[in-house]
Amino acid sequence: MRVFVWNKRRKPLMPCSPAKARHLLKEKKAAVVRRTPFTIQLTIATGESKQPVTLGVDAGYKHVGLSASTEKAELYASEV
């Protein structure tokens, strides 16, 4: 499960884990924007860094499979 994150200017950033979101909310560094899907907005200034994400689609006979991966995850998968 991932939590969607917006910066101060309401631009999307990379999602974070629920534990990281709880930490940011507890320290008042973020505020809840939506509950479904759970989205937080940072109240502190941050960089605009985002990673490129690749979407993979497997159109099977009964089910459709979706996957999203980053370059870092692809490098790790190729090393294993």
Q: What are the residue ranges spanned by the domains of the chain?
A: 3-42, 50-80
pLDDT for the residue 73: 53
Q: What is the DSSP letter of 44?
A: S
pLDDT tens digits, 20-74? 999 999 999 999 999 999 999 999 988 777 778 788 888 888 888 888 777 765 5
Q: 40, 5 in Cβ contact below 8 A?
A: yes
Tokens 């994400």 appear where? 53
Q: Per the confidence metrics, is the pTM higher than 0.85?
A: no
CA pair distance 21, 13, nearest whole angstrom: 13
Q: 16, 50 in Cβ contact below 8 A?
A: no
pLDDT band, residue 3 (cuts 50/70/90): very high
Q: What is the DSSP letter of 29?
A: S
